[in-house]
Chain A
Amino acid sequence: QVQMQESGPGLVKPSQTLSLTCTVSGGSISSYDYYWSWIRQPAGKRLEWIGRVYTTGSTKYNPSLESRVTISLDTSKNQFSLNLNSVTAADTAVYYCARDHGDDDVSSWFDPWGQGTLVTVSS
């Protein structure tokens, strides 16, 4: 079955860019049936959807983060990536990637998810 695995630096300095990669195994990121999302959870807070990418490269972002986020995909590696620029301590969170069962208009349920990776923003 499809599995997701996040990877990337666990520590990022304030004002720099947070970059994470999600590797998908057991299925193709080039599928026209799914979208690929990033979600985060700061400690003690609720989950927050960041954005998603489709196999065509089209993207949709949470308006609250849109000015700082870029999500892209690399079909040759079956990976998709998250870049979040100008980070502050408020961006410290566990970051998850997930397969999104949505359509062109909106995301839907997320399944499966990766185990998550903690990213701390600190100097």
Chain B
Amino acid sequence: DIQMTQSPSSLSATVGDRVTITCRASQSISSYLHWYQQKPGTAPKLLIYQASRLQSGVPSRFSGGKSGTDFTLTISGLQPEDFATYFCQQSYNTPTFGQGTKVEIK
């Protein structure tokens, strides 16, 4: 299985901050990397697919990047509704997920 390692596991931030979450794959996965947001008790929501493509309806403050086997999710100008858990998923082969990053209010 391809291991996905997210960092940090949690972070504290303030409204308006620029926040970056990283996901590292244990091997090359091309751009088969997707990002989701999850709030307690609700369905996970797709934010970014294929590393950098913004899902329809998702605010443009969310963006995805790639450098080798490192992938980033950046929130430019954190909003109150963005406090949630974010996780990555690879689809190069049998899907696997990162362990999640919880974004909390500082």
Contact = CB atoms under 8 A, between A and B. Distances in A.
Determine if chain A interacts with chain B.
Answer: yes
A49 B87 CA distance: 14
Given A46-B98, A46-B99, A109 B49 contact: yes
Chain A interface main SS type: loop
A116 B46 contact: no
Interface residues of B, number: 25
A96 B46 contact: no
A109 B34 contact: yes
A83 B9 CA distance: 32
Interface string A101-123: 11000111111111110000000
A63 interface: yes
Contacts of B87: 46-47
Chain B interface main SS type: loop
A69 B32 CA distance: 26
Interface residues of A, number: 23
Contact of A46 (B49, B55, B100): B100
7 contacts: A47-B87, A47-B97, A48-B97, A101-B49, A107-B94, A111-B55, A116-B43
A106 B99 contact: no
Nearest to B42: A115
